[in-house]
């Protein structure tokens, strides 16, 4: 699996599909298959691509490996620093999941607004059950987060003719979009019919949507979370949904996976997806392009992109 010539950059990937998509390799690159369930195949590997969605279990395998770059396959990296051995550089997968996650965010909005889950249940019962639904069009949508995923969501919402308000960490004008600072969130919530959270996890964003924020939302508001489960205070959400005040469509939850006896499973007005925002056919070609970009840059002696942690 090595290109001709003497390899100067060794890359490990966890599966045959990614290995195939990286072909043909540039001159000087060598590719190894390593799912990180077995001992390391080399003492030195320049780029390690761990398996998708299993970081906490496998990162300790890198303790005795000389690695120049650990290239994750997720955008989020909260918790990685607790498991990444010292002396390692970690890059996230910005540019890989934004499209697919934004697609799901809009899909959850449409499904919740147009009663798709109820129609599926009625179909299972062979029951004709029409309803007069609330459209996505003309809704006042508050987008919480304007990074890669937030921008992708905004791009996809515009053709649906929503009234879009954007909130991020700091206020700014970005490409003609008036972005409000998070310090304005409390004033914006009472006017939001749909709240879409796309923020990353971590202490800075933990429970940014808690009881106070949920109370500020108008009756019947829809809360969508495609960021991290920790953004929302789950107990507060359960309480508001139980009273029929708030609806929710969640791709991420806290805890996660959601225990089978958790009340969110059975509460009316809740739609749950099992953290699949990035899990689509859009992911594979994009992760291959990112890994190939890192290979090409490092072969040229350039710094890798997307570096978010150095331990």
Which residues pair with residue 309 across a beta bridge?
90
4-28 residue pLDDT tens? 455 689 999 999 999 999 999 999 9
pLDDT for the residue 78: 84
pLDDT for the residue 220: 97
Using the predicted structure, report yes or no on whether residue 2 has a pLDDT greater than 60.
Answer: no
The pair of structure tokens assigned to 64 is 């005795």
Using the predicted structure, report yes or no on whether residue 53 has a pLDDT greater than 90.
Answer: no
Span between the terminal Cα atoms of the chain, in Å? 31
Q: What is the rounded radius of gyration, in angstroms, for the C-alpha atoms of the chain?
A: 22
Contacts of 267 (CB under 8 A, 6+ apart): 238, 241, 242
Going by C-alpha positions, the residue among 141, 148, 138, 186 that lies closest to residue 164 is 141
- What is the longest distance spanned by two Cα atoms in the chain? 67
CA separation for the pair 85, 40 (Å, rounded): 14
pLDDT for the residue 6: 57
Using the predicted structure, report yes or no on whether residue 35 has a pLDDT greater than 90.
Answer: yes
Structural contact between residues 46 and 11, judged by C-beta atoms closer than 8 angstroms: yes
Contacts of 111 (CB under 8 A, 6+ apart): 117, 249, 271
């Amino acid at each position: 699996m090595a290109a001709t010539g003497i390899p100067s950059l060794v890359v490990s990937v966890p599966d045959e599909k990614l290995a195939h998509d990286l072909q043909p390799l540039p001159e000087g690159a060598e590719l190894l298959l390593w799912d990180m369930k077995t001992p390391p195949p080399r003492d030195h590997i320049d780029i390690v691509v761990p398996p998708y969605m299993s970081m906490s279990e496998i990162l300790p395998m890198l303790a005795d490996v000389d690695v120049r770059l650990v290239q994750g396959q997720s955008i989020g990296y909260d918790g990685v620093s607790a498991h990444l051995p010292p002396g390692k550089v970690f890059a996230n997968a910005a540019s890989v999941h934004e499209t697919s996650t934004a697609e799901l965010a809009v899909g959850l909005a449409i499904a919740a607004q147009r009663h798709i889950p109820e129609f599926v249940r009625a179909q299972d019962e062979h029951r004709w059950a029409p309803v007069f639904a609330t459209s996505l069009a003309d809704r006042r949508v508050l987008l919480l987060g304007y990074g890669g995923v937030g921008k992708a969501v905004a791009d996809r919402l515009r053709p649906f003719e929503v009234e879009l308000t954007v909130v991020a960490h700091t206020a700014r004008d970005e490409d003609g979009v008036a972005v409000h600072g998070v310090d304005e969130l409390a004033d914006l919530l009472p006017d939001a019919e749909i709240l879409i959270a796309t923020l990353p996890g971590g202490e800075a964003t933990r429970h940014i949507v808690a009881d106070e924020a949920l109370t500020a939302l108008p009756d019947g508001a829809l809360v969508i979370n495609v960021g991290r489960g920790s953004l929302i205070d789950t107990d507060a959400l359960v309480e508001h949904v139980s009273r029929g005040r708030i609806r929710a469509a969640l791709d991420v939850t806290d805890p996660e996976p959601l225990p089978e006896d958790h009340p969110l499973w059975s509460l009316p007005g809740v739609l749950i997806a099992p953290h699949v925002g990035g899990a689509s056919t859009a992911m594979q070609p994009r992760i291959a392009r990112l890994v190939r970009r890192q290979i090409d840059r490092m072969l040229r002696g350039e710094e890798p992109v997307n570096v978010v942690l150095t331990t």
